[in-house]
């Protein structure tokens, strides 16, 4: 219930704030005549935005996540490199519903993506290019039936073939900025075996197990020898 209400207040007050800002820029008397209204609108926008971020985004119930110790997943890039989480689980916009348990890891185009967990390559879609509706994705099926998904990879960026067995840490793709995205990143999530939605997971190389938006995390995922 809180989510739609806060989201509406946030979006409506943002439009009002933008309207006032527009007026203030084009008519100097506008600012003087409406100062208190403008401040109030910006305050409502800021407070609703802050409440929204604090209460309506991020992992809802950490007890749903499996323990970090012995997790079969590691961060999907080279050991020693730190990367920023632009969006975490249950984010402001796109990580909802099916994609609730997804992460956006910022990485430059062409970064080598490593398998977060061992498995068999189940599906590869890397024929799309450029920003648009269609996204590239590579799926790896695990022994328990779950699938890891690596999205927005580069045009022809897959480094493996369907059916290949991959080990944790093996290079599987080159990252990109293809599909529904405005910055280069890897959209990563794990889907349950019935493919009804993403599931909460932990990473063994993340200190608290679950990466959070706005933080940097350093991978310990080593390429197999």
| Interface ranges with Zn ion (CB under 5 A) | 102, 104, 187
Residue with Cβ nearer Zn ion (90 or 187): 187
Residue with Cβ nearer Zn ion (142 or 187): 187
Query: How far apart are the C-alpha atoms of 196 and 189, rounded to whole Å?
Result: 13
Q: How far is the CB of 179 from Zn ion (least distance, A)?
A: 10
Alpha-carbon dihedral sign for residues 166, 168, 171, 172 = positive
Q: How far is the CB of 187 from Zn ion (least distance, A)?
A: 4
Residue with Cβ nearer Zn ion (102 or 158): 102
Q: How far is the CB of 178 from Zn ion (least distance, A)?
A: 13
Residue with Cβ nearer Zn ion (17 or 186): 186
Residue with Cβ nearer Zn ion (100 or 141): 100
Query: How far apart are the C-alpha atoms of 157 and 166, rounded to whole Å?
Result: 16
Nearest Cα residue to 111 out of 159, 74, 162, 73: 159
Residue with Cβ nearer Zn ion (104 or 205): 104
Residue 174: C-alpha distances to residues 18, 64, 140 (Å)? 39, 31, 15
- Give the relative orientation of helices 2-26 and 28-56 as an angle to the nearest 10 degrees: 160
Task: Enumerate the β-bridge partners of residue 186.
Answer: 105
Q: How far is the CB of 21 from Zn ion (least distance, A)?
A: 29
Nearest Cα residue to 47 out of 24, 14, 23: 14
Query: How far apart are the C-alpha atoms of 201 and 22, rounded to whole Å?
Result: 44
Q: How far is the CB of 201 from Zn ion (least distance, A)?
A: 15
Q: Which two tokens stand for residue 76?
A: 């999907």
Q: Which two tokens stand for residue 136?
A: 């590239």
Q: How far is the CB of 47 from Zn ion (least distance, A)?
A: 27
């Amino acid at each position: 219930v809180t989510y739609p209400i806060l989201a509406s207040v946030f979006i409506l007050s943002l439009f009002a704030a933008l309207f006032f800002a527009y007026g203030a820029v084009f008519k100097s008397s506008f600012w003087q005549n409406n100062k208190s209204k403008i401040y109030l609108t910006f305050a409502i926008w800021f407070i609703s935005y802050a409440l929204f971020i604090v209460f309506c985004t991020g992992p809802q119930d950490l007890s749903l996540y499996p323990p970090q110790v012995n997790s079969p997943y590691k961060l999907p890039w080279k050991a020693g490199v730190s990367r920023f989480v632009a969006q975490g689980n249950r984010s402001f916009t796109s990580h909802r519903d099916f994609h609730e348990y997804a992460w956006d890891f910022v990485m430059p185009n062409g970064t080598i993506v490593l398998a977060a967990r061992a498995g068999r390559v189940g599906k590869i879609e890397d024929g799309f290019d450029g920003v648009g509706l269609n996204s590239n994705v590579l799926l790896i099926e695990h022994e328990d039936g779950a699938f890891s998904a690596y999205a927005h990879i580069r045009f022809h960026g897959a480094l493996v073939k369907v059916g290949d067995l991959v080990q944790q840490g093996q290079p599987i793709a080159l990252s990109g900025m293809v599909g529904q995205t405005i910055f280069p990143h890897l959209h990563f999530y794990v889907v349950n075996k019935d493919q009804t939605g993403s599931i909460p997971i932990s990473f063994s190389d993340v200190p608290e197990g679950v990466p959070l938006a706005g933080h940097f995390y350093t991978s310990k995922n080593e390429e197999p020898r």
